[in-house]
Structure 1
Amino acid sequence: MAGRAANGMGTITKRKDGRYQAAVYVLNTAGHRERKYVYGKTWDEANDKRVELLDNNRKGIPSISSNMALGDYLDYWVENIIKEDRAYSTYAGYETVIRRFIKPLLGHKKLNRLSPRDIRAFVAALRTRRTVHGAKLSDRYVQNVFEVLRSALTAAVKQDELIGRNVAMLVTTPSRGEHDVAPLDEDSARKFLRAIADHWLCALWLLLITTGLRKGEVLGLAWSDIDLDTGEIKVRRTVQRIRGQLRFGKPKTPRSRRTVYVGDVVKAALKRHRTLTAERMKGQPRPASDQPGDLVFVTSSGQVVEPRNVNTMLRRILKKAGLGHSRVHDLRHTAATLLLLDGATIREVMEQLGHSSIATTANIYGHVLDVAKRRMAERMDRRFSAD
């Protein structure tokens, strides 16, 4: 039924069109109070929305409206949704993209007045922008910026019900360009394995090149994540240096929180590593902030191995092996490539790598699939060839 709530709790009235209208003073994104109206087909529906607004006031969360500037909505979205629900590295990346590119180019536009033309002009403008080092934004980065904007507008449609459509969905996604995939070939992989045999992080390199785990996922492993009898490894956290600080956090996506298995060679290397780590420890451990107490890859002081030092160590190993330049991430590509060449399906590789979709895996490793198919054809040919 219609009626007036207690003072400060807002009012609900019935409109001439039969709907119910609730009016509440709320906090806006600037921290000021303003009157906000919500509507419902029934009194209860309007009241539920009124209660939600009051709950936001109680929590100090701003209530948002469809005619707010896109920049204000993006600030709300990244601080109240992304920061709460996603890994800190994702939040930091989104916040940077919004602050440096989306808000300067599009932030002044009203959320409910955005058009496909605005989005296309935005993408064109991005292609003229430069990084802090003066280089043009890569095709991949332009697409990443576009996808952040599209994700925010999707939330404005589906979660916050502020707008009726996502205009970014009406614009062709910018081309990502060619994927920069440079795996080691099989001969180079064997040379790499010989070069790491006596390295103090031999187990780390083996994990990278055999499982396809990301660098941060391997560095974030704890002994409680590993079953050395079965070879089961649970990926539960990642560690990265973000804005100058080492941070432990959730893996990149829900699919990144996964289980992989290793064979006897890696299990033996991990057992040796555990023994050597105990022998190398000096004095009282000085772990990094938020570091698990049973972290696998630590220095002699008990602190997580610095991610940037892994890059430096890889360059030395490659030089020792007589191999050309490769990134740590190329070891992940190497694992995926070798799995596909050995007959693994694209879905199996997707699950192993923790990609969010099979399309991502197929897009990156499509060329490897062609090689794998030719090998299968050759094997079948040999099977049925005459002696």
Structure 2
Amino acid sequence: MARVEDRWTRKDRTRTPEYGTGKRWRAVWTEGGDERKKSFDVKDTAKAHLAWVEHNQRSGTYVSQDRGRVFVRDLLEEWVDALAHLKPSTLAATKSDVRATIRPYWGDRILADIRRADVQAWVSGMGKAARTVDTIYGRFRSFLNWCVEEGRITATPAKGVNLPQGVKREHIYLTIAEVERLAGAIAPHYQDLVWFLATTGLRFGEAAELRTKDIHLRRQRLRVARSITDVGGRMLIGPPKGGKERDVPITAFIAERLAARLQGKGRDDLIFPTLRGKAMRSNNFKRRDYDPAVTAAGLPAELWVHDLRHTAASLAIHSGASVKSVQRMLGHASAKITLDVYAGLFDQELSDVAARMDALIQTHTNLNLPEISLALVKPA
């Protein structure tokens, strides 16, 4: 039977041997046939704890203290094994973060003893880029949520943690002339790749995994069905970001270049392999070929390979493509994401709309439409 005991004083008001040591009030309850105890400084707090235990035992939501008295390291492997729903590249990245950052810091901690302040101190002192901190924290938060679902703890201590705010990097959009300079400065083997990325908007991993069977020259389309990622030195093939395949239009200019590359290739051959015929690694390509070409072309040193994707979006928008078309080309989950990412470019399109309307007005002006309009507003 649940009860509150006075550790310091007996019923006859005489002092016990424990008088003045430790917390005075002890809550006692039964759990699975065994007696459990927890001490408190205040009697009302001990009573409140018993009420909480009894309520949760009746509702089936009670979590035994013992289930949380376990080292984090003993649960991490079990949690990772439960992540079968993740695509291979994400799972590999998660394992890497667990091995390099999460396990070294949290492995020897008792799960039930972790408090929000502990998680906040870890996040604040991680010393990594804001985006990296957000990713690693997100993985640990998922682990703690899993612990709640498994009945190890009653609530996650990761809730309400403040994350560092990074400085948002501005996109760099190249003009056609600048794309031409970049392509001319890079090794001939990769010149087609530069034009391809700057006009299709494919991510590097999607282009690196593109194969002959994905190209449909007659329709001037290509199918983005897979992506390859270098995770810890392992090349992992999985679905594109977002998990959905998509069709992307290609210009006649690109189609002509792809046609030359398709000559003599089998259906499963890579379109853009390395000089040795292997799948490209993003870091190697950037360091050995792309960055030197950026310098040689006189372009900003901070120009990323991913900026070629932004360039493709810019060219599409300025050519008159709708938000929905750009969304489909880039593989965004929604048009809202496209607008959020490229709001500034569409703002320019609004100015272009006004310019086109001015041209229309000017055309009608030549037809004496203003005089007709003035006649309509003359007083009767």
Q: CA deviation at 1:342?
A: 3.6
- Residue 255 of structure 1 contacts residue 354 of structure 1 at CA under 8 Å; is this kept in 2? no
Q: Distance in 1 between matches of 2:246 and 2:197?
A: 15
Contact kept, 8 Å, 2:114 with 2:157, in 1: the verdict is yes
Following TM superposition, by how much is the alpha carbon of 1:189 offset from its aligned partner in structure 2, in angstroms? Answer: 3.2
How far apart are the structure 1 equivalents of 2:316 and 2:214?
23
Following TM superposition, the consecutive aligned residue runs of length 4 or more in structure 1 with deviations greater than 6 angstroms are 39-42
Matched, 1:203 2:192: yes
Equivalent in the alignment of 2:330: 353
Name the counterpart of 1:183: 173
Q: 1:41 to 1:319 in 2, by over 3 A?
A: closer
Matches within 5 A, 1:138-287: 138-157=129-148, 160=150, 162-192=152-182, 195=184, 199-245=188-234, 247-251=235-239, 253-255=241-243, 257-275=245-263
Residues paired across the two proteins, number: 303
TM-score by length of 2: 0.65
Distance, in Å, in 2 between the alignment partners of 1:172 and 1:360 is 24
CA contact (8 A) 2:210 2:226 kept: yes
**Segment of structure 1 superposing worse, 329-338 or 313-322:** 313-322
Taking a change above 3 Å as real, the CA distance of residues 333 and 65 of structure 1, as seen in their structure-2 partners, is farther
Identity of aligned residues (%): 26
**Alpha-carbon spacing, 1:341–1:120, altered in 2? closer, same or farther (3 Å):** farther
The structure number with the bigger radius of gyration is 2
Q: CA deviation at 1:322?
A: 4.3
Paired with 1:116 and 1:358, the residues of 2 have a C-alpha distance of: 36
Matching residue of 2:313: 336
Distance 1:380 1:110, change over 3 A: farther
TM-score (normalizing by structure 1): 0.64
Listed as ranges, the matches of 1:36-51 within 5 Å are none
Given that 2:213 and 2:268 are in contact with CA atoms closer than 8 Å, whether structure 1 keeps it comes out as no
Structure 1 residue matching 2:222: 3-state secondary structure: strand
Retained in 1: the 8 A contact 2:201–2:310?
Answer: yes
C-alpha separation in 2, matches of 1:161 and 1:343: 54
Unaligned residue ranges in structure 1 (runs of 5+): 1-16, 20-38, 43-63, 130-136, 279-284, 286-291
Q: What is the RMSD of the two structures over their aligned residues, measured on CA atoms?
A: 3.9
Return the offset for 1:343.
4.2
Structure 2 contact 249–329 (Cα < 8 Å) conserved: no
Distance 1:252 1:331 in 2: 18
Which residues of structure 2 form unaligned runs of 5+? Answer: 1-29, 33-56, 61-65, 367-380
**1:77 equivalent in structure 2:** 79
Corresponding residue to 1:295 among 264, 267, 270: 270
Structure-2 change in CA distance of 1:74 and 1:176 (3 Å) = farther
